Amino acid sequence: MIEPIPHLTLVLGGARSGKSRHAEALIEALPGPWAYIATAEAWDDEMTARIAEHRARRSADWLTVDAPLELPEAIRGLPEGRPVLVDCLTLWLTNLILAERDTAAAGRALIEACAQATAPIVLVSNEVGLGIVPDNALARRFRDEAGRLHQAIAARAGRVVLMVAGLPMQVK
């Protein structure tokens, strides 16, 4: 059974942990229509297939908005009162880093946009800080920035879920 959803939920987990499916179930427990903000860019055949798989799961009741860089603006631009799922923050962060954007300012803008939203928001992100220390500076920067972003969002979220092997573990 899925409990009532708070204004802001963060769903974390590793690759193929069931994050997206769980987040979709949380949003679909609310009256539709719903919004899905996708941050992925199809750089190769594998990512193209992943994006197609995610799109195929969603019904026509979902409005899909692509926002690889302008995530706060995409949230602000949604129809008022529409529940939203953002998938995923780590891809968004990767896009920001590669575009040489100010990730700290972007994170603050995201938190502000979420606070101003009129409907529940579920943010999906990869937990990347549980493994070994990466061997290169860019990967270490990404891991550290993802950790800081997750902490800032988790502090404001009404619920934080860690997905493990398809099982949701409520952290907050």
Residue numbers annotated as active site: 54
Q: Which of 131, 170, 171, 163 is nearest to 16 (CA)?
A: 163
Distance CA 129, CA 143 (A): 6
* Phi and psi torsions of 33, nearest 5°: -75, 165
CA dist., res. 103 & res. 21, Å (int): 27
CA distances from 88 to 15, 31, 60 (A): 12, 22, 21
Tokens of 52: 């197609």
Amino acid at 71: L
